[in-house]
Structure 1
Amino acid sequence: MSTLTDERRTAVKEIVCDILELEEDEVTDTSLFIEDHGADSLRAIEILASLEKEFGISIDQSELAQMVNLERVYQVVAEAPVR
């Protein structure tokens, strides 16, 4: 399993918090986007697209269901193929 550098983890969290309109201290690695932060599927797609653009990677839409919290987003980004 691949891991992300601290710098990339920080960038991922900034993107997620920006899209969910939350302060960084409101989101933990395990807090759930939908249940804890009221995110909807449109925001999830926006997060996916922003991550692809920022890191030059390809994330399959089927991964959206796995991207429920920061921990899972880090994993998806780490394993995503570079475009």
Structure 2
Amino acid sequence: MPILAEDRRSAVKEIVCDILELEEDEVTDTSLFIDDHGADSLRAIEILASLEKEFGITIDQSELAQMVNLEAVYKVVAEAPAR
């Protein structure tokens, strides 16, 4: 399984926090976007689109169901194919 470099992890967290309108210290790697932070499906799609744009990758819409916290997002981004 690919590991996401620390600088990319920071960028992912920054994008997620910006879209969820949270401070970075409010979000942990395992806190749940929906249950802990009140995110909805529209925010999840925003996160997916922003990650694709930032990193030049393609994330299949089916991955949305897995992207429940930062750890899962790091994994999806690390495994996503470049465009």
Q: What's the TM-score once normalised by structure 1's chain length?
A: 1.00
Any residues of structure 2 matched to 1:37-56 within 5 Å, and which? 37-56=37-56
> Root-mean-square deviation (CA), in Å?
0.2
The Cα shift of 1:50 comes to 0.1
Runs of at least 5 residues in structure 1 that lack an aligned partner in the other structure: none
The Cα shift of 1:19 comes to 0.1
Any residues of structure 2 matched to 1:26-65 within 5 Å, and which? 26-65=26-65
1:2 paired with 2:2, answer yes
Alpha-carbon distance in 2 for matches of 1:64, 1:81:
15
Q: What's the TM-score once normalised by structure 2's chain length?
A: 1.00
Alpha-carbon distance in 2 for matches of 1:4, 1:58:
16
Alpha-carbon distance in 1 for matches of 2:3, 2:63:
17
1:66 paired with 2:66, answer yes
Q: Percent identity?
A: 87
The Cα shift of 1:66 comes to 0.1
The Cα shift of 1:53 comes to 0.1
Helix, strand or coil: the match of 2:29? coil
Deviations 1:1-27 (A, max 9, x none): 001110000000000000000000000
Runs of at least 5 residues in structure 2 that lack an aligned partner in the other structure: none
